[in-house]
Structure 1
Amino acid sequence: MNRRDFMIAGAATLGAGLLTPSIAGAHTNDYWVRDRSLWLRRQETGDEFRVTYWSGGQVDYNNYVRLCYILRDQQKAETVMMDVNLLNLLYGAQYWQELLLGKPTPWIITSGFRTDATNRKEKGDENSEHKNAKAADVKHDTYTPQQVAQMFGFFGMGGVGVYPTFTHGDTGRVRFWDGSKPRRR
């Protein structure tokens, strides 16, 4: 599915009520200038942080490290420096949902950074952005994976994959896929 088809399908799925306030909020002058906070919860462990990782025009290192910890390779207990643009993508989508719901709610992280061994075990793509600390798989209690994909896709920051129970977002090259369908080899 190409980007245009994906966006049209997503718009049809979401309905106008979801798009209107988010697009209006995304174009305010302070959207990317303001302090940026994330509320992330790790599915497997229940670890949770609600922190401001960007303040005064720069990364708050202590809170950035907390978010890297949440996005660690859980199976190998390995934490790396995550791509700040990935955090920005998560922030953009989370702030969007906050505008829609009128309150912040956490994103549930099912996967972040992956070592080569974990990526093979998870049957991830050999060129997965998870291995480059540029990807996260997320769920949200209110929104479907397709709706979260629409939010990620709006920002045009990288790859977006829709799976039955979660959404993949990354800051690699822009591409879209439906992970519920078997891949052609």
Structure 2
Amino acid sequence: GSVLSPFLFNILMHRLLSLLPVIPGTTVTCYADDICIHTTSTHDLQHMLHDFYVSATSCGLIISPEKSRIFTSRNCRALPAFAMGSNVIPHCAQYTYLGAPVRITPAIPARQRIHPFVKSLLDRLEPRFAPVKWLANNAAGVSIPVARTLYILLLRSVVDYLSPALCQLPKPALEPLEKFQNR
């Protein structure tokens, strides 16, 4: 429980990630101890998983096989088994990353689908936005600088928390957030 513990852990995570190779088309997203590898190549994924396992082991870290998952929009049966060390990583249709559910629902056309990160974020922001909106619109409400401060305190912290995942999304996926912000 030292105040240095989070700082030291972040230094360790930086070292861990710096040991990984740069593979074109593969991105690693890290927020605290939540790590996500994004790629479209099964070969590159297995290569990155192996390198990640070696890198983590060299830093003295143990990767939890119970918390590791392969998530894909492809047919899982058509994919090879992926392993880290001696552990095969199971496939899943949904997982939680940074507190937000991630899943693909092909029943909804892509142009109408709201990305799960964005949906979860909007669901979190709505109850926080209501008091700010009421205070700003009420006749005896608050001034714009105070409303802006409340907005930053109540809403921005939630957006900042999910920003490592949101920055990986294409611009059209973020449009519902822009609409929410501008209303």
Instruction: Bin the TM-score by the shorter chain.
Output: under 0.3
Give the helix-richer structure, 1 or 2.
Answer: 2
Q: Which has the higher contact order (CA 8 A, sep 6+)?
A: 1
**Rg larger in structure:** 2
TM-score (structure 2 length as normaliser): 0.23
Give the strand-richer structure, 1 or 2.
Answer: 1
TM-score (structure 1 length as normaliser): 0.23
